[in-house]
Amino acid sequence: MYRRNLKHSRVKNLFKFSSPKMDRVLIVESALEFDTCFHFEYSPDVISYEAQPEGYYYSYQGKELPYTPDFLVNDRIHGTRFIEVKPVAKTVKAEFRDKFISRQESAKLLGVPLLLVTERQIRVNPILNNLKLLHRYSGIQSLTPLHFTLLNLVRSSGAVHVRNLIASTGEDEGVVLASTLTWLSVGKLKADLSGTALCRDSLVWC
């Protein structure tokens, strides 16, 4: 087992993802890995996740080669698993497939399955855009009386459209939507993130 030290280079850009869930900044190696973080961050099933975890060695053509998965994820449904993130175009190459099979075999011996994820699972909208919108409000710590008024309205209603919250409070649409997004980002409110873009017509509930 070993651990890589990521550094900027002329051929590789690093991306920083600020994770409230993990209370730290994660360093990833591609825009696709960066987008993957949004799914882990806001999935209620994901307990924890780590970028560039401790790596391991695998056998390929008679050699022992080092490998670091892109993520180590622990969730309530699947337990602990390694995640490799790759564009579809790279996964069809014979060398990648052969190496990945060997990497999976070594991961299995460690008791942690290795799974492959591509942009077909990651860059799906409107959910990815909704997750990115939530992330914009995740760092907001100062709660106003309006935040608690909205939360109480939703709790008393069971489920309510944002437009009805706007009408009930008489507040500016943008302020009400922003306050609702704050509660969504911390999990106090819920909404269907996969159906449509979050807006005044969205249905929210506790």
- The pLDDT value recorded for residue 142 is 84
User: Mean pLDDT over all residues of the chain?
Assistant: 94
- Cα 21 to Cα 88: distance, rounded to the nearest angstrom: 28
All residues at 6 or more sequence positions from 204 whose CB lies less than 8 Å from its CB, including other chains: 154, 159, 160, 161, 162, 165, 180, 183, 184, 189, 190, 191
**Secondary-structure percent of the chain, ordered helix, strand, coil, rounded to 5:** 40, 25, 35
> Taking a C-beta distance cutoff of 8 angstroms, is the pair 47, 30 a contact?
no
pLDDT (mean) for 114-119:
98
- The pLDDT value recorded for residue 9 is 52
- Write out pLDDT tens, residues 27-49: 999 999 999 999 999 999 999 99
- Write out pLDDT tens, residues 89-104: 999 999 999 999 999 9
- The pLDDT value recorded for residue 157 is 95
- The pLDDT value recorded for residue 4 is 72
In eight-state DSSP terms, residue 29 is S
All residues at 6 or more sequence positions from 80 whose CB lies less than 8 Å from its CB, including other chains: 72, 73, 74, 112
Element holding 148 (H helix, E strand):
helix 145-157
| Sheet strand arrangement including 190-191 | 159-161, 203-205, 190-191
- The pLDDT value recorded for residue 139 is 72
Q: Model's pTM, two decimal places?
A: 0.93
- Write out pLDDT tens, residues 45-70: 999 999 999 999 999 999 999 999 99
> Taking a C-beta distance cutoff of 8 angstroms, is the pair 23, 32 a contact?
no
